[in-house]
Amino acid sequence: MEREERLLELLNPVFAECGVRLYEMKWIPGKENTLQIAVMKDDGTMDLDTCVAVSEKVSEVLDAEDPIPEGYTLEVCSPGAEREIRDLSELYNMTGQYIYIRLHTPVKKMSEITGEIAGAENGVLTLSYRDKAATRKAEIEFDNITFARLAVRL
């Protein structure tokens, strides 16, 4: 069994118990190998207490099962404030979130838009964005989105 499959088999029950889902797991080789596990709550948020709890439980499982023969450092973290939205179906539950998107085909002469999600329905995202001093809305089909991530509003 491949390392990642074995780790998922061991750690998925921990994620479920802690009320988080795996965003990304990656092995970072180097002078000090690192197993980096990014997790988030179902609503896309994360807090330090949950991160610590997940880290402790993951450490217990990895220490007991020892699925990685070489030395490594475990890093449990959140996906970050500007995490990529990999599954566009998440947009349905993100009303009010501020995001950045890139488009295949420009909408209102824009191939990139940053704004607040006003809603999402039937594969169409309604985004409220600023155009100089005016607030405007754009309707964007999910199929037209090439990249999406959370954005930090300044």
SS3 state of residue 152? coil
Domain boundaries in the chain? 3-77, 88-150
Confidence of residue 117 (pLDDT cuts 50, 70, 90): very high
Per-residue pLDDT, averaged over 146-154, amounts to 93
Contact 58, 14 (CB under 8 A): yes
- Report domain 3-77's class: alpha beta
Distance CA(135)–CA(154), nearest Å, equals 16
The pTM assigned to this predicted structure is 0.81
Instruction: Reply yes or no on whether the pLDDT at 119 is more than 80.
Output: yes
pLDDT of residue 45: 84
pLDDT of residue 3: 84
Confidence of residue 1 (pLDDT cuts 50, 70, 90): low
Distance CA(23)–CA(11), nearest Å, equals 13
- Report domain 88-150's class: mainly beta
pLDDT of residue 14: 96
CA-wise closest residue to 125 among 109, 110, 113: 113
Contact 59, 74 (CB under 8 A): yes
